C-alpha cells in the first residue's frame, strides 16, 4: 500500500463512515440477534467486491481482501452488538423507543472496519498478503469470538496476526492506548449456592439458615483480594447478585449468589478462585451448611509485545508519540480468544470529545463518542495493517 494515498481515501469515505455508524446506532441489536446489522455488513462487503463474503457464527459476517503481492494473513476483528439499555443520549440518531443501545462503541467498530475493507479492496495491487475481516456478534453476552473461530475464521487462509480496535471513552479523541501484555482482564463469572436446611423462622435452632451463612460468606470473600493477593497485583471480586428466601417467616433451603472475578495474570486468577473455595469451605463448615461453587473464565486479552510495538509505532507516526498512551482495564473482551490463537494487538482508540465536560462511561445510557475518532481509526487501522504486512 502506498501510505501517502491513504488519507484522501479516508477523507473521501468520511461522510459514509459517519452515516454507517449512525445507521447502525439507530438500529442497534442485542447479542445473537444482530440480523439487520449482519445484513448491512454483508451488503457492504459484497458491494465493494470483497472475496468470500459470508455469514459466520450465525449473526456475524466475514470477508477476505486478498492483496496481489505475497505476504502474511492478517485478521481484523470488529464486534457488532449492542446492549439492553434505554438510550438517554438525546442524539438525533438515538435508538428511540427500543431498549437496545450501542453503549460500548461497537457501531463505530463496524463503521471503521467497513471503511478499512473498502480502501484495502481499492489498494489490492499494492497490498502484500491478505486481510480477513471478522465482524463478530455477541461480544457483550454469550461469546461470539469462539463461535467465529469454530466457524473457521482463523483458518482459510491461516491467520498470522490479529488486530482490532476498541473505541475508548476514557482517552480523548486523537489518542490511542497501546499496551504490551494483558490489556483487558480475565473475567471469571461465578455462581455460589449455599445449601442449608429450611424451617420455621421462629425456630432457627432446628434449621441451618443459609441466609446467615451467605452473609458471612459475602464478608469473608471480600478478604480474598485484600489478604491473599499481592498488593502489586490486580484483582477484583464482586458479588453482584444474591437471592434467597420467599418470606420473612420462612428459613429457606438455599441462597444463590453470583459475581465476577477480574485479574490480569493466570496465577492470580487461580489463587483467587482457590482462596474463595477455601473461604466457602470454612464458612459453610462452621454452620453445617454445604456449598456449590461454579466458575467459568474468559481469558485476559493479551497483546503480543512485537505487535503492540508495531501498533504503537503506527499510532505515534499518525498521532504523535505524546498521544500514544499505555494502560489497561479490568473490563473483559472476548478478543482474548483470537489473541490466544495468533499474536496480535488490541488497540484502544480515544473517543472522548475534549470539549465536552460530561464523560459517560461505556455501558451508560448516555455513552457517546466523538465521531472524529472514526477517520482516525480508519487511517490508523490501515497503517497498522500496512506495517504488519511489511514486517
Ligand atoms: Zn461493552
Ligand atoms: Zn465493547
- 207-256 tens-digit pLDDT: 999 999 999 999 999 999 999 999 999 999 999 999 999 999 999 999 99
Quote the pLDDT of residue 168: 97
Output the nine-digit C-alpha cell for 165: 480496535
Could you tell me the distance, in angstroms and rounded to a whole number, from the CA of residue 189 to the centre of ligand 2? 17
Closest CA to 168 of 235, 95, 108, 236: 108
Query: How many Å lie between the centroid of ligand 1 and the Cα of residue 245?
Result: 32
CA of 219 to the centre of ligand 2 (A): 31
Cell of 261: 472475578
- Residue 262 Cα to ligand 1 midpoint, Å, equals 15
User: What pLDDT, on the 0 to 100 scale, is given for residue 142?
Assistant: 77
Nearest ligand, CA 103: 1
Phi and psi at residue 229, to the nearest 5°: -115, 135
CA of 51 to the centre of ligand 1 (A): 30
pLDDT for 341:
97
Full-model pTM:
0.93
- pLDDT (tens digit, 9 = 90+) per residue, 130-158? 999 999 999 998 789 999 999 999 998 99
Bridge partners, residue 161, by sequence: 74
Q: How far is the CA of 333 from the centre of ligand 2 (A)?
A: 7
CA angle 218, 223, 226 (to 5 degrees): 140
- The answer to whether 238 and 260 are in contact (CB under 8 A) is yes
- Judged by its nearest atom, the ligand closest to the C-alpha of residue 349 is 2
Cα of 123 from ligand 1 centre, angstroms: 32
Convert the pLDDT of each residue in 78-131 to its tens digit.
999 999 999 999 999 998 777 999 999 999 999 999 999 999 999 999 999 999
Kind and range of the H or E element at 129?
strand 128-136
Confidence of residue 355 (pLDDT cuts 50, 70, 90): confident
Cell of 367: 455513552
Q: How far is the CA of 249 from the centre of ligand 2 (A)?
A: 44
Q: Tell me how crowded residue 353 is: count the other CB atoms within 10 A of its CB.
A: 18
In the DSSP assignment, the letter for residue 155 is B
CA 326 vs CA 159, 303, 334: distances in Å: 26, 12, 20
Dist. CA 309 → ligand 1 center (Å): 25
Q: Nearest ligand, CA of residue 363? A: 1
Whose atoms come closest to the Cα of 334: which ligand?
Answer: 2
Neighbours of 69 (CB within 10 A): 12
% of residues, the chain, pLDDT over 70: 98
Residue 203 confidence (pLDDT): 97
Distance 36 CA to ligand 2 centre (A): 19
Q: Identify the band that residue 389 occupies on the pLDDT scale cut at 50, 70 and 90.
A: very high
First to last CA, the chain: 13
Nearest ligand by distance to the CA of 78: 2
Q: Are 61 and 46 in contact (CB under 8 A)?
A: no
Ligand 2 centroid to 133 CA: how many Å? 17
Per-residue confidence (pLDDT) for residue 358, from 0 to 100: 66
Q: What is the pLDDT of residues 269-311, one digit of tens each?
A: 999 999 999 999 999 999 999 999 999 999 999 999 999 999 9
360 C-alpha to ligand 2 centroid (Å): 14
Q: What pLDDT sits at residue 37? A: 98
CA of 311 to the centre of ligand 2 (A): 20
CA of 111 to the centre of ligand 2 (A): 14
Does 2 score more than 70 pLDDT? no
Residue 332, pLDDT score: 95
Residue 157 preceded by cis peptide, ω within 30: yes
Distance 211 CA to ligand 1 centre (A): 33
How far is the centre of ligand 2, averaged over its atoms, from the C-alpha of 34 (Å)?
15
Q: In what order do the strands lie in the sheet with 324-325?
A: 51-56, 60-66, 128-136, 69-79, 161-172, 344-352, 176-177, 324-325
Residue 334 Cα to ligand 2 midpoint, Å, equals 9
**Kind and range of the H or E run holding 215:** helix 210-228
Q: Cα(86) to centroid of ligand 1, in Å?
A: 15
Q: At 4, is the pLDDT very low, low, confident or very high (cuts 50, 70, 90)? A: low
Determine which helix (DSSP H) or strand (DSSP E) holds 237, and give its type and residue range.
strand 235-244
Q: What is the dihedral of CA 317, 321, 323, 329, to 10 degrees?
A: 100
Gap from CA of 195 to ligand 2 centroid (Å): 36
CA of 371 to the centre of ligand 1 (A): 18
What is the model's pLDDT at position 5? Answer: 78
pLDDT at 39 over 90: yes
pLDDT tens string 44-56: 999 999 999 999 9
DSSP structural state of residue 8: H
Amino acid at each position: 500500500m502506498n501510505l501517502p494515498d491513504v488519507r484522501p481515501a479516508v477523507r473521501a469515505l468520511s461522510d459514509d463512515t459517519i452515516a454507517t455508524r449512525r445507521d447502525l446506532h439507530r438500529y442497534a441489536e442485542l447479542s445473537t440477534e444482530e440480523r439487520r446489522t449482519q445484513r448491512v455488513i454483508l451488503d457492504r462487503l459484497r458491494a465493494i467486491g470483497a472475496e468470500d463474503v459470508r455469514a459466520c457464527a450465525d449473526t456475524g459476517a466475514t470477508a477476505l481482501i486478498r492483496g496481489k503481492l505475497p505476504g502474511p494473513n492478517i485478521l481484523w476483528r470488529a464486534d457488532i452488538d449492542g446492549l439492553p439499555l434505554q438510550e438517554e443520549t438525546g442524539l438525533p440518531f438515538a435508538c428511540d423507543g427500543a431498549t437496545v443501545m450501542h453503549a460500548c462503541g461497537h457501531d463505530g467498530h463496524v463503521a471503521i472496519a467497513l471503511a478499512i475493507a473498502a480502501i484495502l479492496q481499492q489498494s489490492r495491487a499494492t497490498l502484500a498478503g491478505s486481510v480477513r475481516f471478522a465482524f463478530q456478534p455477541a461480544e457483550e453476552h454469550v461469546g461470539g469470538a469462539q463461535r467465529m473461530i469454530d466457524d473457521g475464521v482463523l483458518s482459510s487462509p491461516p491467520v498470522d496476526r490479529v488486530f482490532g480496535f476498541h473505541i475508548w471513552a476514557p482517552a480523548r479523541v486523537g489518542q490511542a492506548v497501546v499496551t504490551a501484555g494483558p490489556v483487558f482482564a480475565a473475567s471469571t463469572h461465578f455462581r455460589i449456592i449455599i445449601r442449608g436446611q429450611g424451617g420455621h423462622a421462629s425456630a432457627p435452632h432446628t434449621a441451618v439458615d443459609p441466609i446467615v451463612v451467605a452473609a458471612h460468606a459475602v464478608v469473608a470473600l471480600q478478604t480474598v483480594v485484600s489478604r491473599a493477593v499481592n498488593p502489586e497485583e490486580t484483582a477484583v471480586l464482586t458479588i453482584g447478585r444474591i437471592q434467597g428466601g420467599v418470606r420473612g417467616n420462612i428459613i429457606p433451603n438455599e441462597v444463590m449468589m453470583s459475581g465476577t472475578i477480574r485479574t490480569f495474570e493466570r496465577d492470580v486468577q487461580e489463587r483467587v478462585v482457590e482462596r474463595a473455595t477455601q473461604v466457602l469451605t470454612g464458612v459453610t463448615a462452621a454452620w453445617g451448611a454445604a456449598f456449590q461453587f461454579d466458575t467459568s473464565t474468559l481469558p485476559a486479552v493479551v497483546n503480543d509485545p512485537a505487535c503492540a510495538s508495531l501498533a504503537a509505532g503506527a499510532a505515534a507516526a499518525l498521532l504523535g508519540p505524546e498521544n500514544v498512551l499505555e494502560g489497561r482495564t479490568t473490563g473483559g473482551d472476548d478478543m482474548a480468544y483470537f489473541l490466544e490463537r495468533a499474536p496480535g494487538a488490541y488497540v484502544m482508540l480515544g473517543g472522548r470529545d475534549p470539549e465536552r465536560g460530561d464523560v459517560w462511561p461505556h455501558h451508560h445510557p448516555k455513552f457517546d463518542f466523538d465521531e472524529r475518532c472514526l477517520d482516525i481509526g480508519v487511517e490508523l487501522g490501515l497503517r497498522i495493517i500496512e506495517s504488519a504486512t511489511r514486517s
